[in-house]
Structure 1
Amino acid sequence: MCADTVATPDYKTTLNLPQTDFPMRAGLPKREPDWLARWEEIGVYDRLREKEGRTPFTLHDGPPYANGHLHIGHALNKVLKDMVVRSHQMMGHDSRYIPGWDCHGLPIEWKIEEKYRQKGLDKDKVPVLEFRQECRDFAAGWVDVQREEFKRLGVTGTWDKPYLTMDFHAERVIAEEFMKFLMNGTLYQGSKPVMWSPVEKTALAEAEIEYHDHKSHTIWVPFEVVEGPLSGAKAVIWTTTPWTIPSNKAVAYNPKIAYGLYEVTGTPDECWCKVGDKYLLADALAEEVLTKARLEPGMWTRVRDVSPEELGQMVMRHPFAGLDGADGYWDYEVPMIDGDHVTDDAGTGFVHTAPSHGADDYECFMRRNWLDRMTHNVGEESEFLPHVPFFAGLQVFDRKGKEGKANAAVIDKLVEAGGIIARGRVAHSYPHSWRSKAPVIFRNTPQWFAAIDRPVGDGQDENGTTIRERALTSIDKVNWHPRSGRNRLFSMMEARPDWVLSRQRAWGVPLTCFVKVGLLPTDPDFLLRSEKVNSRIAEAFEAEGADAWYKDGAKARFLDGMVNPDEYEQVFDILDVWFDSGSTHAFVLRDREDGTEDGIADVYLEGTDQHRGWFHSSLLQSVGTTGHAPYRNVVTAGFTLDEKGNKMSKSLGNTVSPEDVTKQYGADILRLWVAQTDYTADQRIGPEILKGVADSYRRLRNTMRFMLGALSHFEESDRVESSEMPELERWVLHRLAELDDVVREGYRTFDFQGMFQALFNFSTVELSAYYFDIRKDALYCDGDTLRRRSARTVLDLLFHRLTTWLAPVLVFTMEEVWLERFPGETSSVHLEDMPETPAGWRDDALAAKWANVRRARRVVTAALEVQRSEKVIGASLEAAPVVHVEDAETLEALKTVAFDDICITSDIRLTSDPAPAEAFRLTDVSGIGVVFEKAEGEKCERCWKVLPDVGTHSHPGTCARCDEALG
């Protein structure tokens, strides 16, 4: 009976349609907290630790500061770390992550002081232990807040047992690490210029400095020669810090610069120069300087050359020498000294030298052993001290960081003394505190330093005898990602000065040392070095924390029975917080049960600013106490900018809050943004970028949903050996073998973007748009065929690999996918390892063949798309094109692969005949032409193929394949 005379049944119910409850819409913001609670309930992190026989892998957490809500940079940092930890765990390691916090230091102290100021209280009148407890409570509160914010991002770790630099054991170890510097001879007290914050009233390290534009006074000051050649001439200096003139002790020149003597022959009105004045200037700068002094061309003449030998013999007088009311304060000789730091790029070719207020100035005096000529003219609030005539009490910067009266007063006094020939203002880059954002000064104060060029202990170490040598050697034993990080830190280490360890604050670990009364810092017995005293201090800190140092009777407690306490003074400066965080390797990696056997981390990962921060201080501290770096790999991230590439700022309103992103999209979208980003450079984020990330997420989710649906009721009995599979399935296995290498290498080398891009393209292009598209017909319409069982076996293999490969990135979504297929009270994808992929799956010859098949398919599908757009056909199954193939090898390959199924047509004819002129071609695929023809026959009511045999079988309206499937 003919099919067209009998109504055909509805065959939809006979198809093997996908079955899954996995939703199209993720609903991540609402659902993610439930997964977090579930992981905590089943103890995923602890259960992973129970897996035996694994090689440990430890990422050591650079401690964020416990003083505010997270910003997007925190989120990037923690998600990157989590991807490292999770991926290495799933590649077979025992991968550990101990989150930590930096709890001491000025930012917290500053917050407590602000509270006091609002109440009209004087911080210095509050008992120090009470003040420290308020700081401790403040830090503890923010640790709790940030911990929950980090956990919300899906970050795994020992959240119930993090490390805190303010824990008693941590404070003990920090003190012990400091005392190693005390005992190995690298600790010393020096009086040298350091960067000093008048606002925060403490010394700052280079890592605590940032540079901003600042408008400074500029002055040109003549120093009159009173001894040596050219007596009566004046060497002109230029400076942007007039306030340092009262502390001048020399003028520097460079013997490599050409100098001349210039005489004033005429002057305009309102000029500080006089006819007959003779000035010493660098020839390259003379015209500029004399023009600044308001002299016009023709008002001066160059008298002669001035040799370096002549300059070296000159002695000058200070511009304030002999002033009434100065009581002879500046009546000293000002020598002319040589210095390589002097240039003729700008200024005058002579440098005003105040060794208490400049690094180069100080070094010049150090080389000459002139440290007795240092001045102590400026106090901790940048005020001139009472002994300085004319300027006592005047500040360089006030407590709010605004310019004080010191500069203007010094300039006025120079004008009065006839000691200035020009003045002006200049905008330039100037150091500021990164906390208060206020400008800093160079100020000579007694500070404690770690000498980086002094032998450490006995000096015997394979990496070098000094801290600098050990650091430079160690840098080249570390793997840097990207490599540029090595060069940056190496150059910093080559040029860095001694490490300023001391801060004049209250909240931190004190410098646990004692100095002998009456001795100079240069005396070998100045510092008390006693292992027994050190041991007492360590035991007290373990029990009571660093507060033990501040309790009544602490000095006697630590010294009684060892030495006479009355002969020693207790040091109350606190350690630079970078020493705290630089010591974390000791009390985390070395001391904790979940640390490392050798005290070295596999990875440190932070932002690029930590080359001068945590990477830097950790290396210095570690090589000073252990001789080697505390890390094997250092991974560096750039800064996060807005969509336009601008720095984020609350005032500009362009910030992106991690909390806002998780509320709108879910944490997995934020994590996906991290994975898609080249984190080693500066990254951008904003509403439009996040929309694009969400779209990528949807495409991935659809891939996973298709697999779940097609794998419903998959049993082990359905599994097919790879050797029995059709070529298309074996090609997918080949791609899995290739990707297995890409994924593992990407995770191993921290190339998340490259790894993820490869997976994303595979999932959305090679799977969804190619393999799934082709195999839908077999999956839905075949009976129990080898082809269908092979496809489902491949889908199962894909499932296990894609879920575990993507789990370190999409921690919530891959858990959802996993539980959809493998539900259970203790089931979790994060307890799984990435499956090993058989080497036998790789088949390069097959891959080459299928590359040609895909090239030919592109031509066919493009030709059919033209027919579809012109409404000639509605679907590709209505077509039976003729494909003309010039290359014989390609033609034979196409004949062996059911090319009509590959192109999703009902029929296809392959021929070596030359393609007619009207054949469709693609310009980038040569030798293949397609002539469109409609398929002949009727449409199968079950699979929708158009075939001649439809209607000739026992099941009405079906083709032979569907008739067989229906039984």
Structure 2
Amino acid sequence: MCAEKTDYKSTLNLPRTDFPMRAGLPKREPDWLARWAQIGVYQKLREKAEGRKPFTLHDGPPYANGHLHIGHALNKILKDMVVRSQQMMGRDARYVPGWDCHGLPIEWKIEEQYRNKGRDKDEVDVIDFRQECRKFAAGWVDIQREEFKRLGVTGNWDDPYLTMDFHAERVIAEEFQKFLMNGTLYQGSKPVMWSPVEKTALAEAEVEYHDRQTDAIWVKFPVKKHGYAEAYREPREASAEEKRRLQQQNAALNRSFDETMEGAQVLIFTTTPWTIPQNRAVCFGPDISYGLYEVTGTPEVCWAAVGDKYILADDLAADVMEKARLEEGMFKRASDVPADQLAGLVCAHPLAGADPEWDFDVPLLPGDHVTSDAGTGLVHTAPSHGDDDYAIGVKYGLPMTYNILDDSSYRADLPFFGGEAILKPNGKPGGANKAVIEKLKDVGALIATKRITISDAHSWRSKAPVIRLNRPQWFVAIDRPVGDGQDTYGKTIRERALTSIDELVTWTPPKGRNRLYSMIEARPDWVLSRQRAWGVPLTCFVKKGAKNTDPDFLLRNDAVNARVLEAFEAEGADAWYADGAKARFLGDAVNHDDYEQIFDILDVWFDSGSTHAFVLRDRPDGSEDGLADLYLEGTDQHRGWFHSSMLQGCGTIGRAPYRGVMTCGFTLDAKGMKMSKSLGNIIAPKKVADQYGADILRLWVAQVDYTNDQRIGDEILKGVADSYRRLRNTLRFMLGSLSDFTASDRVAPADMPELEQLMLHRLAELDQVVRDGYASYDFQGVVQAVFNFATLDLSAFYFDIRKDALYCDGDTPRRRAARTLLDMLFHRITKWLAPVLVFTMEEVWLERFPGDESSVHLEDFAETPADWRNDDLAAKWAEVRRVRRVVTGALEVERTNKVIGASLEAAPTVYVTEDVAKVLGTVNFDDLCITSGITVSTDKAPADAFRLDDVADVAVMFARAAGDKCERCWKILPDVGTHSHAGVCGRCDAALS
């Protein structure tokens, strides 16, 4: 009969913790949010950080209109990780969240409500309408604020900035007045992005590009003469000598005009037939090869005729003839048409003769924007409807046209087309294109048409196409010297911006610099005005009857400006629309009847571009010098907020308002598709938080390369949750092993075994990686480094080895050292990951340090002594771990083959070189390999010994451990059963004693 075994489980130092493996984040996270609000964590951090070097991340204001999408979550979480990590690295990291509240999107929503009720917006008092917009925006600010807070984002949520606050509206008006007074503001007439549906100009940042179908046409411009049209051919800046030279050249060109060119027609291609009535020139490329092509035969159905002669680019001739249904052999190249000949051509408008409206010369002009990639190599030019067209028009004095009205219809008195619209009020195509095409057919001006798909600009609000339209607007000149005397970075806004980009701003990633630089370098003047009602008005007055080029056209009066600002501070921008506002503001400065009040509103990008003034400069929790350490938004903001802030700052403070810019890509679904309601692939942040917990979403943000587009989906989130669970297991082990750890248990690093000192070395290495990573906003690098450490260095190595000592040792120096190290690990890992996993690290922290005022988010990163680093020790242990890997590989084979169930059943022999044997002799290698025994041999290894291909100098022969199994620690040792306590080994007997 066998003796009954003693149950020694109660004598083990097993981990004790209430920290659950199942996180239950969706239910528990709101409680932590409530706790942080109750103890005022953000306010306590401001008190703690007093006197520290400030770090200010200036919030790019989201629009107060609708629930958050996953892009909002990515952006705000990144900002939160920046702010929290900077704070924990010793800065006073301030974050004031804010919202854009003015502008068309909100106004559009109120108009929709009116339309649904059968009301007309224009019949509503403007101040009443603006109040409805204000109320709408305020409601969404409250909703979005709670949605952002649910993601664990910290900040001054009780006092955010709103562009519709009275002080903000006052400052926006004040910033506008600076442009008024420094000479850069002007009223001009040039093509702008125009939304016929919304009846307002749009900024580039307010449009998105979508495919749409349109009618492409190939149009004939008959050559009238090969001569010199003085009104068009002379650049305005030409000298008298240059004009004489051009006239002599013209005479020579006239003399060379012969029968070859008689009856020739210039061919153009366009995808906007509605612009043909506004044509004023045709442009050619000076470096493109052109030819004269004669039609020698035609098919049965064709708009070309035998004998027709067309001028077009040689590279495109075959394609054009194919579009005209002319097969090979039905046309021939009759002659070259060099650039100097093209420069002398003058054409008739295709509609000339149909009505006197179009009986004018159409010159051919050189243009660097012309290419031979598509079309005909000759570009129809309507200065009122395109940037390149406008630039050519300005250079050569072409007239602007005003045929298109605000609603995209032709003026009523335009022959043939009066009243036809490009777009209907619902954004669908109107009849303008069709009317023009039919008339061109009627006069025989077409050689081909084709229905094609193009990528075209659409309003991101109404989703309707926008057009390029010449409309009187208010502009800021970016190449005009700014009259404020701040010339450190340049005299003009463009010069200051380009200098700021290169000399003042740090770009994350660096490619952001090139993107904004190229945009600023090529951009036209800044369009400030919008023809809407909800926003900050252009607070200026113009003299009636004066031309916009007259010096006294704009009223520039400090006293008038001051009265406007005083009213806005007290009453908001509604004061501009109140009865008697004009007389109130003008006072006795001028005769009221001589001046007209402007009611256009400022582009909402001017609002957000001005936020540095009323947030960074004016708020006590703003910035010490009025500048931000960081602006952080998506890559689309190179043409949006980064851009407008740069222009605004360079116009008012002489430089960029930020020292650093960080950009993130777009968030796509799991297949790499853009998220949209129509595709049904939208993943809302709230849904992720409700299903997985906000910490899982935050971990996803930290694990992706935010500088590029990222993918998210259920399977991706499940993978993130798996890695989270592994980390949670690591944290649980530490908590359990430290449950009763006190200061008296602590061991000095110098007194620790080498294994613990190795881990201290790794902590010192990792501390530098973490700090450098957070400083450079490399959250992916930080999380990857910490997670790899937790998985490979801790769970799979250190914890695996030290479990035995932690569980089975008595109060030994080894166990004390291990627990001291665990405490050091705990203080670093929890704090390093606190900026990312804000809820989980708080839970872990409170499990060890409960208390009403306790929070990991009130801590700084633990200081890690530089002398913990020991490269020589690390090199030695790299060799130990190299050999250990072969041993564990050999044991895994035996475990797989069911020869053993656990590594403690083994006592293998390890064959190494003499140098390696000396190294292994200085460590407890059997403990490191978690075996009951191990033999190190320098003999030649048997041929059938286990080896790894990449560790050729190490071999392992398996052998079972000799002795009995200790009933307490489970090691198999010869001395088991020979001590005072039955069935245990010597180490366990000592622990029991």
> TM-score if structure 1 supplies the norm length?
0.97
Q: 1:526 to 1:451 in 2, by over 3 A?
A: same
The CA deviation at 1:514 is: 1.0
Match of 1:239? Answer: 270
The CA deviation at 1:908 is: 1.1
Match of 1:915? Answer: 941
Match of 1:331? Answer: 359
Give yes or no for contact 1:515–1:528 (8 Å, CA) kept in 2.
Answer: yes
Q: Name the SS for the 2:446 alignment partner.
A: coil
How do 1:351-362 and structure 2 match up within 5 A? 351-362=379-390
Match status 1:461 vs 2:481: no
Which among 430, 438, 443 is matched to residue 464 of structure 2? Answer: 438
- Partners of 1:781 and 1:932 in 2: CA distance: 26
Which among 646, 663, 681 is matched to residue 636 of structure 1? Answer: 663
- Partners of 1:497 and 1:893 in 2: CA distance: 71
Give 5+ residue unaligned stretches, structure 1. none
Q: Which amino acid aligns with 2:840?
A: T
Q: Name the SS for the 2:758 alignment partner.
A: helix
Deviations 1:865-911 (A, max 9, x none): 2222222222211211111112x222111111111111111111111
How do 1:42-53 and structure 2 match up within 5 A? 42-51=39-48, 52-53=50-51
Deviates more, 1:216-225 or 1:299-308: 299-308
How do 1:792-871 and structure 2 match up within 5 A? 792-871=819-898
The CA deviation at 1:942 is: 1.5
How do 1:883-922 and structure 2 match up within 5 A? 883-886=910-913, 888-922=914-948
Give yes or no for contact 1:165–1:581 (8 Å, CA) kept in 2.
Answer: yes
Q: Which amino acid aligns with 1:85?
A: V
How do 1:768-783 and structure 2 match up within 5 A? 768-783=795-810
Match of 1:927? Answer: 953
The CA deviation at 1:38 is: 0.5
- Partners of 1:258 and 1:693 in 2: CA distance: 58
Q: Name the SS for the 1:322 alignment partner.
A: coil
Match of 2:646? Answer: 619
Q: Name the SS for the 1:631 alignment partner.
A: coil
Q: Which amino acid aligns with 2:896?
A: S
Give yes or no for contact 2:738–2:823 (8 Å, CA) kept in 1.
Answer: yes
Match of 2:252? Answer: none
Q: 1:34 to 1:321 in 2, by over 3 A?
A: same
Give 5+ residue unaligned stretches, structure 2. 228-256
Q: Name the SS for the 1:321 alignment partner.
A: coil
Match status 1:14 vs 2:45: no
Match of 1:103? Answer: 101
Match of 1:59? Answer: 57
- Partners of 1:932 and 1:293 in 2: CA distance: 84
Match of 1:415? Answer: 441
Q: Which amino acid aligns with 2:183?
A: G
The CA deviation at 1:558 is: 0.7
Match status 1:702 vs 2:716: no
- Partners of 1:708 and 1:287 in 2: CA distance: 77
Q: 1:910 to 1:396 in 2, by over 3 A?
A: same
Q: Which amino acid aligns with 2:520?
A: M
The CA deviation at 1:284 is: 3.1
Identity of matched residues, %: 72
- Partners of 2:27 and 2:484 in 1: CA distance: 61
Q: 1:891 to 1:544 in 2, by over 3 A?
A: same
Q: Which amino acid aligns with 1:245?
A: I
- Partners of 1:847 and 1:213 in 2: CA distance: 59
Q: Name the SS for the 1:871 alignment partner.
A: coil
Q: Name the SS for the 2:385 alignment partner.
A: coil
Match status 1:281 vs 2:312: yes
- Partners of 1:460 and 1:101 in 2: CA distance: 30
Which among 349, 357, 373 is matched to residue 377 of structure 2? Answer: 349
- Partners of 1:263 and 1:913 in 2: CA distance: 94
- Partners of 1:386 and 1:437 in 2: CA distance: 27
Deviations 1:153-190 (A, max 9, x none): 11100001001111111111111111111111111111
Match of 2:553? Answer: 526
- Partners of 1:648 and 1:795 in 2: CA distance: 44
Which among 553, 564, 571 is matched to residue 537 of structure 1? Answer: 564
Deviates more, 1:200-209 or 1:229-238: 229-238
- Partners of 1:895 and 1:305 in 2: CA distance: 90
How do 1:952-963 and structure 2 match up within 5 A? 952-963=978-989
- Partners of 1:872 and 1:261 in 2: CA distance: 90
Q: Name the SS for the 1:636 alignment partner.
A: strand
Match of 2:164? Answer: 166
Match of 2:218? Answer: 220
Match of 2:209? Answer: 211
Give yes or no for contact 2:560–2:587 (8 Å, CA) kept in 1.
Answer: no
Match of 1:188? Answer: 186
Q: Name the SS for the 1:374 alignment partner.
A: coil
Match status 1:257 vs 2:288: yes
The CA deviation at 1:7 is: 4.2
- Partners of 2:613 and 2:214 in 1: CA distance: 44
How do 1:388-407 and structure 2 match up within 5 A? 388-407=414-433
Match of 1:583? Answer: 610
Give yes or no for contact 2:486–2:654 (8 Å, CA) kept in 1.
Answer: no
The CA deviation at 1:266 is: 4.0
- Partners of 2:522 and 2:713 in 1: CA distance: 39
The CA deviation at 1:599 is: 1.1
Q: Name the SS for the 1:274 alignment partner.
A: coil
Match of 1:872? Answer: 899
Q: Which amino acid aligns with 1:374?
A: M
> TM-score if structure 2 supplies the norm length?
0.95
Q: Which amino acid aligns with 1:462?
A: T
Q: Which amino acid aligns with 2:8?
A: Y
Match of 2:704? Answer: 677
Deviates more, 1:84-93 or 1:351-360: 351-360
Deviates more, 1:74-83 or 1:288-297: 288-297
| RMSD after superposition | 1.6
The CA deviation at 1:255 is: 3.2
- Partners of 1:709 and 1:276 in 2: CA distance: 95
Match of 1:489? Answer: 516
Between the two proteins, the alignment pairs up a number of residues equal to 958
The CA deviation at 1:6 is: 5.3
Q: 1:72 to 1:516 in 2, by over 3 A?
A: same
Q: Which amino acid aligns with 2:103?
A: G
Q: 1:6 to 1:423 in 2, by over 3 A?
A: closer
Match of 2:231? Answer: none
The CA deviation at 1:519 is: 0.9
Q: Which amino acid aligns with 2:404?
A: V
- Partners of 1:50 and 1:526 in 2: CA distance: 52
- Partners of 1:923 and 1:139 in 2: CA distance: 66
Give yes or no for contact 2:486–2:653 (8 Å, CA) kept in 1.
Answer: no
Q: 1:349 to 1:642 in 2, by over 3 A?
A: closer
Deviations 1:277-327 (A, max 9, x none): 33333333334333433334444444433343433333332222232xx4x
Q: Which amino acid aligns with 2:278?
A: S
Match status 1:554 vs 2:587: no
The CA deviation at 1:465 is: 1.2
- Partners of 2:952 and 2:331 in 1: CA distance: 80
Which among 391, 396, 406 is matched to residue 368 of structure 1? Answer: 396
Q: 1:852 to 1:375 in 2, by over 3 A?
A: same
The CA deviation at 1:744 is: 0.6
Deviations 1:704-749 (A, max 9, x none): 1111110111111111110000000000100000000011111110
Match of 1:726? Answer: 753
Give yes or no for contact 1:220–1:237 (8 Å, CA) kept in 2.
Answer: yes
- Partners of 2:492 and 2:67 in 1: CA distance: 40
Give yes or no for contact 1:459–1:466 (8 Å, CA) kept in 2.
Answer: no
Match of 2:173? Answer: 175
Match of 1:340? Answer: 368
Deviates more, 1:446-455 or 1:732-741: 446-455
The CA deviation at 1:232 is: 4.2
